[in-house]
Structure 1
Amino acid sequence: MNDLKKNVTKVMIVFLFLFIALISYIAYFQVFKAYDIAHKQGNRIVWAQRNSVLRGTIYDRNMNPLTKSVRTGPLSQKVEYPYGGIFAHPIGYMSERFGVTGLEGTFDKQLSTYNSTRTDLKTLINNFSWQNLKDMFFQRNNKSNQVGNSVVTTLDTKVQEAVVKAFGNHKGGAVAIDPKTGQVLAMVSMPTFNPNDLAAEMARANKIEQENKNLPDPGSPLVNRAINGLFPPGSTFKIVTTTSALNNIPGVGSEIFHDTGEIKFPDGQVLHNNDYEVDGNIDLRRAFVLSSNVVFGTLAMQLQNPKLRQTAEMFGFNEQIPAIGFAMTPSQFPKYDSWQIGLIAQSGIGQAGVLASPMQMALVAGTVANNGVMMEPKLVNKIINQQGQTVQSFSNQEYRRVMSQSDAATIKSYMTSLVENNMAGGYWSFFKGYDVAAKTGTATHDGKAPDSWLEGFAPANDPKIAFAVCVEDAGYGAGAASDVAGAMLHAFFNNKPPQ
């Protein structure tokens, strides 16, 4: 009898253990995994709920529709993109097969939400009648005419179109912002893709990635180079080095540098100016205008890595800059030991391990334009309901003060001098009348042709637009990037110089 009791006890212990294990397993999924499982792209219940309401529209800043939702069945719909690939990266796509990306993904819940009670009551209050009250009651469960909330972006269609066209077949990225508010006016990544034909585009992207899988950048059109592409910024980074020098080296603005055309390092490495130019005795302004690698490499060595890195991090390098409507990949400024003098010098001219996105460098230019204050980038202004009433608005936010107002004014004058110098030499005629301040850049990498960079803002005396353009593998100088920037400014100012 005792043996039977012992055996029953053992069986009960085993069953108790299995029961506890089962409850723990269920609890684990309910507590930790339920949300992820419920929101998986392939979850049919989620898609049925999403499609029960006709998806809202995504608009540009002037209320031009960038998307159009169309019913294909009681619980199915498709989103059409009237501009094809022009807005593909910032807007993204919604597809039951391929998922939800970009603003379509970030604001998926709002786009699929119909605020029935709030919307109907506001409509009834504004236009009360017994018939409207009767209609509201009998149609309260009718979902056929329910449309989700819409998203009003900060994007400017004419600027976005002009930039895409100016890129042509080149790869790269470009960003335009309002430096005083952080509102994103244009976000372009090339090559782009057509969100209206995702099956073909996915096949093309997979083919490109397979053909170039051994390259650091396979060149996928699905990557948003404007915010997630990291490139050596080249001489556009000299704005950061100048900021650090003005803040940390007393009297540097009036110092005279002796530019011999090159810096020789103990290990035999040499940092030289473009075409081995010797600029002689020049001050900091002239060094900025001529983009002297010798002077800015020397400044980086004087500053040393910790101080220059600290300034770069004030601009948002090595951290996640908060943004509304998107997440940008953090730009990188490396740590170097004091004996790595060659790399320290290279970092002062935006080479070595320095990597930045076009969005990052647009924010750098925008900081100078905004008297030393960086704004958080913002891609969305507000959420509106079916009747056009504001459901949620997003205010402009300061990120931080990066430099003093006087240092910003100094750098702004350097950038203006650079443009004036180029225009006097017969270049950049398309900037005439726009009062542009800019910094050029050439970035070498991977043994390919250099990337062409240009960052700046206009008008210099009252900036309305700040920008950064990176054209990959376009060769030395800012020629290719300045062509894109010129088209951008023409579109922004409606082909007329600012008053």
Structure 2
Amino acid sequence: MAPRRRSKNPHAEAEQFRRRAVLGFVVVAVCLVGLAGWYFKLQVLDHDEYATRSEANRIRPRPVVPGRGTIYDRNGKLLAENVPAFRLDVTPDKVKDPAKLIADLRAIIELTPEDITRFEATRKATRGFRPITLKLRVSEEEMARFAVDRWRYPGVELVPYLTRRYPYGDLFAHVVGYVGRIDEKDLEALGEINAALTHIGKTGLERYYDEELRGRIGYEKVETNVEGRALRVVGRVPAQAGTDLRLSVDADLQQAIVHAFGELEGAAVAVDPRTGEILAMVSLPSYDPNLFVNGISSKDFRTLNENPSRPQFNRLVLGGVAPGSTLKPLIALAGLDSGKRKPEDTVVSTGMFYLPGTSRGWGDASRRGHGVTNLRKSISQSVNTYYYRLALDLGIEQFDQYMEHYGFGTPTGIDLRGEIGGILPSPQAKLKSRKERWYPGDTVNVAIGQGDWKVTPLQLVRATAGLADGQLRRPHLVSQTRVGFDRPWESLPQPASIPISPNPANVEVVRLGMMDTMQPGGTGWRVASGAQYLMAGKTGTAQVVSRRGTAAVDPRSLPMHLRHRALFVGFAPADNPTIAIAIAVEGGGYGGSTAAPIARKIFDAYLLGIMPEPPVPAAESATPGAAAPSASAAPTSVPPAPATPKPATPAQATPAQVPPSTQEPRR
């Protein structure tokens, strides 16, 4: 049976259509309102944000690193300069496959494993939109090869920049220092604002004044195309150039000291006692700081570290020696200021000193003794007995108070990082370091600069300059600064000086004793023979190994690293001092025969302009960058100077001339 058809209801269908039409209209209206609201939000409410984003796609900021401040000596000679170079920068977020990119670049540019390792480490620690340096100092040939296929390497740019160069090489390595590539720790310390920097001061003045030298980074607004290529600069925030430094150091005197040392190792520093300005400071052997600027090779770095002479070790601020007899003028001054001694007071030197109730003796410089000795004679002939008795009369507490006033046991405050304070012997220090109490014999030892003493050449020269001028001043290297080449130099303020003694007459007596040292009968008289000016000084010898029993030690019989250190402190002209020096020669034997002749050459160079003759270079060293103190280290900008005849030096003492005692006598 056929199914029955339902009849259509036109009214119902029309009503259903109307409902659907209304619903569709409402949906469309809601969508249009939402779209209009979204457009309103984009065009009105968020206009500034999206306009900035749009502009950022077209305009990109590019950091402008300022030129690092240059460094000059006191006469305007350039010690650290900037030279143009090109580096290869990679922007990580523009590179799809960094490993493939590096492999492709290695085919046209020499990349060392150190370059790649450094790049990867920096890439992981840096935001992707910041360029990272892959290679510094790209050669002209490499630049040409890269330019041919530049289009193949998106995100890679050759960037011009200024790199550091040290024209004098090893001569100022321990003073000026060097800059090196920034590592992860440096980035954390510098912050985002300085992330565009590639180098930072690592040692010396480059490190101490790094913030002033590096200046302030600027920015350029660069318009780019859709590929990110720079089209033009549309805005600029100028960079602020680094501050230039003028040192008090004299490059010619610095070279003269190196020549005066010859092939010897050690340290020397010269200051102007009237101002505290460092005139020269040398630590030998040295090294070439240019090796470190763009990353030293593993081979060169390993060779430097394996050198037993430690070229990188700054003996001026990090090294310490027992002061030996160079301390005697200061102890004599302490005796006068304390009232324990008068200039005319005398002791009798018999050649051996004994503490009451003991059989252990301390020897004098002369086995036969020096006889009746007053203060001036005790300095000029280095009479140990005078100071044995004086130190015992002072007592170790009062002794330390005076030595601390003269600057021992604390850093001098020179504008170099890492300076040590040395060791000032005291009962507290001995108890802390060796768990032993203090004995009278310890006081006897420290009275001649032995025992637990450790002083730096800087501390010695500061105290010596105080004797020369009557004032203790902070030694400093930088005397003037300027911000911009066309700006005038401005002097740096220095801390106020303090008197070395409340009684200038006491200082004068000590000075006379130091002048007697350089006259016939004194321990340094042969060195001063024939000088056109008066000298004042004090020789000293510090032993490295202890004596056993009463056997004398001939330093010439010991290996070089165990030989006595030869010391000298002094100033000239003695009647109107303009230079004070401290010298420490490693393995030099005795101060009078090794350190004092070096002092004479330094005085002649500074006061008379007579430069010491460069020594004959020894065999070529196998140590890259480690420069021996020889003429080969001299820069071409330092002209040769006339040589001065080598002054006669006293013969070294033989074992028979050294009195048997429990301490090596100090001269």
> Contact 1:70 / 1:80 at 8 angstroms: preserved in 2?
yes
> Contact 1:115 / 1:385 at 8 angstroms: preserved in 2?
no
Gaps of 5+ in 2: 1-61, 87-158, 184-200, 219-232, 429-436, 547-561, 612-667
What amino acid is the match of 1:395? P
Structure 2 counterparts to residues 247-286 of structure 1, below 5 A: 247-265=337-355, 266=357, 268-274=359-365, 276-286=367-377
Instruction: Output one character per residue of 1:269-291: Cα deviation in whole Å (capped at 9) or x when no partner.
Output: 32101352411112121121110
Out of 55, 62, 68, the position equivalent to 1:55 is 68
> Contact 1:374 / 1:398 at 8 angstroms: preserved in 2?
no
How far is the alpha carbon of 1:82 from its aligned partner? Answer: 0.9
Residue 166, structure 1, aligned to residue 260, structure 2: yes
**Rounded Cα–Cα distance in structure 2 between residues aligned with 1:485 and 1:417:** 16
Structure 2 counterparts to residues 54-453 of structure 1, below 5 A: 54-73=67-86, 74=159, 76-96=161-181, 100-113=202-215, 141=237, 147-198=241-292, 199=296, 202-208=301-307, 219-265=309-355, 266=357, 268-274=359-365, 276-326=367-417, 328-336=419-427, 340-371=439-470, 373-390=471-488, 393-403=491-501, 404-421=503-520, 427-429=526-528, 432-446=531-545, 448-453=562-567
**Rounded Cα–Cα distance in structure 1 between residues aligned with 2:83 and 2:285:** 27
Instruction: Output one character per residue of 1:245-297: Cα deviation in whole Å (capped at 9) or x when no partner.
Output: 11123443111211011112456432101352411112121121110111111
TM-aligned CA distance change 1:100 to 1:158, over 3 Å:
same
What amino acid is the match of 2:173? A
Which secondary structure does the structure 1 equivalent of 2:591 belong to? coil
TM-aligned CA distance change 1:431 to 1:171, over 3 Å:
farther
> Contact 1:264 / 1:271 at 8 angstroms: preserved in 2?
yes
Instruction: Output one character per residue of 1:167-212: Cα deviation in whole Å (capped at 9) or x when no partner.
Output: 122221111001111000011111111112233653233213xxx6
**Rounded Cα–Cα distance in structure 2 between residues aligned with 1:480 and 1:353:** 24
> Contact 1:336 / 1:344 at 8 angstroms: preserved in 2?
no
**Rounded Cα–Cα distance in structure 1 between residues aligned with 2:323 and 2:306:** 29
How far is the alpha carbon of 1:466 from its aligned partner? Answer: 0.7
> Contact 2:273 / 2:465 at 8 angstroms: preserved in 1?
yes
How far is the alpha carbon of 1:432 from its aligned partner? Answer: 0.4
Residue 493, structure 1, aligned to residue 607, structure 2: yes
Q: Identity of counterpart residues, as a percentage?
A: 28
> Contact 1:316 / 1:331 at 8 angstroms: preserved in 2?
no
The residue aligned with 1:38 is none
**Rounded Cα–Cα distance in structure 1 between residues aligned with 2:567 and 2:314:** 17
**Structure number, greater radius of gyration:** 2
How far is the alpha carbon of 1:415 from its aligned partner? Answer: 0.6
TM-score normalized by the length of structure 1: 0.77
> Contact 2:538 / 2:570 at 8 angstroms: preserved in 1?
yes
Instruction: Output one character per residue of 1:350-393: Cα deviation in whole Å (capped at 9) or x when no partner.
Output: 1111111111111111001112x101111101221232424753
TM-aligned CA distance change 1:114 to 1:475, over 3 Å:
same
**Rounded Cα–Cα distance in structure 1 between residues aligned with 2:340 and 2:238:** 71
How far is the alpha carbon of 1:445 from its aligned partner? Answer: 1.7
What amino acid is the match of 2:482? I
Which secondary structure does the structure 2 equivalent of 1:225 belong to? coil
**Rounded Cα–Cα distance in structure 1 between residues aligned with 2:581 and 2:312:** 22
The residue aligned with 1:455 is 569
**Rounded Cα–Cα distance in structure 2 between residues aligned with 1:251 and 1:342:** 21
**Rounded Cα–Cα distance in structure 2 between residues aligned with 1:278 and 1:393:** 52
The residue aligned with 1:30 is none
> Contact 2:517 / 2:525 at 8 angstroms: preserved in 1?
no
What amino acid is the match of 1:63? G
The residue aligned with 2:630 is none
Which secondary structure does the structure 2 equivalent of 1:176 belong to? strand
**Rounded Cα–Cα distance in structure 2 between residues aligned with 1:278 and 1:285:** 16
What amino acid is the match of 2:603? L
TM-score normalized by the length of structure 2: 0.59
> Contact 1:54 / 1:70 at 8 angstroms: preserved in 2?
no
How far is the alpha carbon of 1:431 from its aligned partner? Answer: 6.6
Which secondary structure does the structure 1 equivalent of 2:325 belong to? helix
Gaps of 5+ in 1: 1-47, 117-136, 213-218
Displaced runs of 4 or more, over 6 A:
423-426
TM-aligned CA distance change 1:431 to 1:388, over 3 Å:
farther
**Rounded Cα–Cα distance in structure 1 between residues aligned with 2:263 and 2:523:** 30
**Rounded Cα–Cα distance in structure 2 between residues aligned with 1:407 and 1:426:** 23
TM-aligned CA distance change 1:348 to 1:425, over 3 Å:
closer
The residue aligned with 1:131 is none
TM-aligned CA distance change 1:479 to 1:395, over 3 Å:
farther
How far is the alpha carbon of 1:110 from its aligned partner? Answer: 1.5
TM-aligned CA distance change 1:430 to 1:382, over 3 Å:
farther
Which secondary structure does the structure 2 equivalent of 1:288 belong to? helix
TM-aligned CA distance change 1:231 to 1:476, over 3 Å:
same
**Rounded Cα–Cα distance in structure 1 between residues aligned with 2:302 and 2:261:** 23
**Rounded Cα–Cα distance in structure 2 between residues aligned with 1:270 and 1:201:** 51
What amino acid is the match of 2:383? S
How far is the alpha carbon of 1:491 from its aligned partner? Answer: 1.8
Which secondary structure does the structure 1 equivalent of 2:67 belong to? coil
How far is the alpha carbon of 1:428 from its aligned partner? Answer: 1.0
Residue 479, structure 1, aligned to residue 597, structure 2: no
- RMSD of aligned Cα (Å): 2.8
